[in-house]
Amino acid sequence: MNINTVKSKLPRTERISDFMRTVICPGSFDPITNGHLDIIERSSVLFDKVIATVMFNPAKKNNFCFSPEERAELIRRCTSHLPNVEVRVADGLLAEYAKECGAIAVVKGLRAMSDFEYEFQQAQLNKKLNSELETVFIDTKSENMYLSSSMVKQICELGGDISDFVPAAVRDDIVKRIMRGAEK
Ligand code: PNS
């Protein structure tokens, strides 16, 4: 009996999970911005399951406003309308973590050309570490092209309005945390 015949005899739920395409949207998410949310939302349309994961970027150490769990909590609040999105925190190598999750790909948003070299390097190295892992790039919406968590933090710290840059559900928490940090 070939594999397709076996699959056709399985109960419907098992057939669906058999074809489940799981992807990871990794990032520092300190904090989540409209740009991140857009990529997670669009990934959730393209794939069966999306695991948005707060991971450690060594290049950004000592410069975080929120703890990893707090960042995950903010993402959960913004993605509660997406039933196939799960939010986690993970340590270690993304390439190894993807294997543990059974993920077929990592999804990254690509903003201006300046992102490309860095993202391409990471994609190549992740592929070297896990030959089955693909990286899928989604083009950022033009309104989010120059948006980043660090710019949001800077604008907020200097008293600017961040309403256009972060999801409404988390705006006040971000403002409170950054203003508190700025007072210290
Ligand atoms: O939002 P960021 O900071 O650009 O996300 C970068 C992140 C966290 C995805 C990246 O630093 C990462 O993959 N960290 C996990 C450690 C790892 O696998 N490093 C090697 C990447 S080739």
The two structure tokens encoding residue 110: 């690509």
Does residue 93 line the site of ligand 1, with CB under 6 A? yes
Q: What is the pLDDT of residue 9?
A: 62
What pLDDT does residue 180 have?
78
Query: Pick the catalytic residue: 36, 71, 153, 171?
Result: 36
Helices (H) and strands (E) in the chain, counts: 8, 5
pTM for the full model?
Answer: 0.90
* 158 CA to centre of ligand 1 in angstroms: 28
Q: In what order do the strands lie in the sheet with 22-27?
A: 85-89, 49-54, 22-27, 105-110, 134-139
DSSP class of residue 54 equals E
Q: Quick one: which of 22, 17, 71 has its CA closest to 49?
A: 22
pLDDT value at position 103?
97
pLDDT of residue 129: 98
pLDDT digits (tens, 9 = 90+) for 165-184: 999 999 999 999 998 776 76
Q: Under DSSP, is residue 153 helix (H, G, I), strand (E, B) or coil?
A: helix
Residue 23 clears pLDDT 70, i.e. is over it = yes
Mean pLDDT of 111-135: 94
Q: What is the largest CA-CA distance in the chain?
A: 69
Residue 15 has pLDDT above 60, yes or no: no
pLDDT digits (tens, 9 = 90+) for 75-102: 999 999 999 999 999 999 999 999 999 9
Q: Which of 60, 99, 128, 180 is catalytic?
A: 60
Q: Please state whether the peptide bond connecting residue 83 to the residue before it is cis, i.e. omega within 30 degrees of 0.
A: no
Contact yes or no for 178/156 (Cβ under 8 A): yes
Angle subtended at Cα 31 by Cα 25 and Cα 36, rounded to the nearest 5 degrees: 35
**How confident is the prediction for the chain on average, in pLDDT?**
91
